[in-house]
Every structure is written in structure tokens, then in C-alpha cells.
Amino acid sequence: MGVNALPLIDISNFQSGNFEAKRAIAAQVAQACTDIGFFAISGHGVEKTVISNLRESSHTFFSQSDDIKHNFVHPIKGTPRGFRTFRGEALGKTSGQADAQPDLKEFYHIGREKIPLDDPYYTSDEGKKYFIPNLWPDHPLEFKAAALAYWDSMEALAMNLAHIIAVALDLPETWFDDKINKHATAIRLNYYPAFSESPLPKQIRAGAHTDYGMITILMGENQPGGLQILTREGHWIDVETKPDYFVINIGDLLMRWTNDTWLSNLHRVINPPTGSQEDRGRFSAGFFFQPNYDALIECIPTCSGPERPAKYKPVHSGRYREVKYEEALS
């Protein structure tokens, strides 16, 4: 029987619950990641004001003229910080669609703000590839504070989810800790403007792709033209996003870690239906949780055996992300 909707999992009892409560939550996560690679969570503990402040300040920023927003494009082309212009990438190319059209979106890219200057992990030539100073717009004034508060909340949530994932994979709860304690995560604030002209044939808001890292935490809006995911049976299904929960999907690196036990699934953002009325563009925020750049991603002990050898060669987290970034911009 196929999956027609995302499971909604209440994770509130994981941190405070007993062993059986943790196992029950982890079992739900394991089932969802095996079936479709996506699930929604409630009971996450993120304050509503943290979400609403980011949403409103982002709408204010993206509603400005292109001339103003272009001031915050990084001076080095392709650098994953600051503003990326409309049609600035084609995500479909990362999943083998050589003729994919540029995506009908723009976005703002934010990384870790506080970088320890006395730690060569961050300041070495290799570290500087992943820990790049942020660019902050002048307006709205609250944009930076809202983004950093959201970052802190997402980082805490991602660490909690990593513990749930470890239990779901029959590993010690802290198994991932030394692989994510210096994570190279980025937030993308995605903005899909209301249509002012017809798109090209097969051009959509975000082409079909998988995410590159460990997990993605997505906050969206219920606007026409939203997220779709591909089921194992080959059907696209709509994903409803609500203000009080987050959508979680596993990325390529976690799929490799699990030897394809869990699915890093294709997903896309479609155009709004013809004739739909959008009073403003659609916004979403993706927290792309990337392990430490030097973390070696190889099959975990509970996902392989004599009759189930590892499918992938080991790869470093950072190098895998670099390759995928290059594909999206090519």
C-alpha cells in the first residue's frame, strides 16, 4: 500500500521521556524514513514568535526592488552566502536533468554566524570553504536578529533529531554527536514571487532534486504552488505545511549512512494553478543540516552485513556538498 500523506510525529516526549517513549517515537521516524524519507513533526519546542519573526522580516526583505536586493549578492560568484537572484540555479540538474530550466525562485543564504577564530577547523583553508562570513541587509532592521534566533532554534532541534535518528537506527543515542558537533549547515530563505509572466515549458519553482546533507528542516506556508514529493510507487503527492509543525526529510548523506535503508527522496516545488490569486509570494525556510565537513560518511554498523554489503564508497561530507553545489550552478 502506497503512502498518500506524510505522517505527523509528536516528538515532545523524546528528551524527557523514558526509554520506551523514546523507542516509540524513533520507531515512527524509522518507518517514515523507510517508506518515503519525509515526515512532519509537532511538539518540537520552537517558539511561534521565532517562526513568525523570520517569516515577516523575510517577506519584507524580498518585497524590495531587485536593485536593492542585488546589493547583497556575494561579490564572488557562486559563494553560498547572501542573496541569490531569480532564476539563479536549476536544482533539476542535480538529479540528472541536463535540460532543466532555472528555478522560479530567489533566496537568501545564511551560515554559522559565530566562528571560533582560534580553531583551525574553521579558519584553515579547508574550513574557509564552509564557514564564510554572512552578508546582512540594511533593511529590515530586524532581519539579522530574526534569522539568528531561528538558526539557534533549528540547531537545537537538529541535534535532538539526530538523537532520535540514532535510536531509530539501533545505535547509541549520541552516535552522531562527534560527526555533527562542528556542522557545516546553511539556511536558505526561499522566496517564490507571484507570477508576473508565464513560465517556460517545464519550468517550475524548484526542479526535482534530493537534498545533499543529513536532514533538512523545512518551514513553509500554505500558499498555492507548494512542495511535492515522489512516492516509491512513482506518484507525486502534495505536502501540506502548517505554521505549527516542520517538515523533515533525510538527505543523501543519511541515505548513504544507512546503505539505502532510508530514502533521500526526490521533491520539487510546483507552480500555482493557473488563475490562482496570490496576494504575495510564497516563502519557505530550509535548515540544511550538514555534518562536519571532515566527517567520513560510510555505512553504519547496523545497516550492513555479510549478505548486505555497503553500496557506497566512503565520502567526506564537505566534498559531497561541493560537487552538488557545482551541479546546481552549472
Q: Is 202 left (phi over 0), alpha (psi -120 to 50) or beta?
A: left
Q: What is the tens place of the pLDDT at every residue in 236-247? A: 999 988 878 999
pLDDT surpassing 50 at residue 1? no
Q: How far apart are CA 26 and CA 49, in angstroms?
A: 28
Q: What is the tens place of the pLDDT at every residue in 128-157? A: 999 999 999 999 999 999 999 999 999 999
Domains of the chain by residue range: 8-329
Measured torsion, CA atoms of residues 22, 25, 31, 33, in degrees rounded to the nearest 10: -90
What helix, strand, coil percent values describe the chain, rounded to 5? Answer: 30, 20, 50
Q: Are strands 246-250 and 215-219 parallel, antiparallel or unpaired?
A: antiparallel
Task: Round the average pLDDT of the chain to a whole number and report it.
Answer: 92
Written out in words, the top-level CATH class of the domain with range 8-329 is: mainly beta
At residue 297 the predicted structure's pLDDT band, cuts being 50, 70 and 90, is: very high
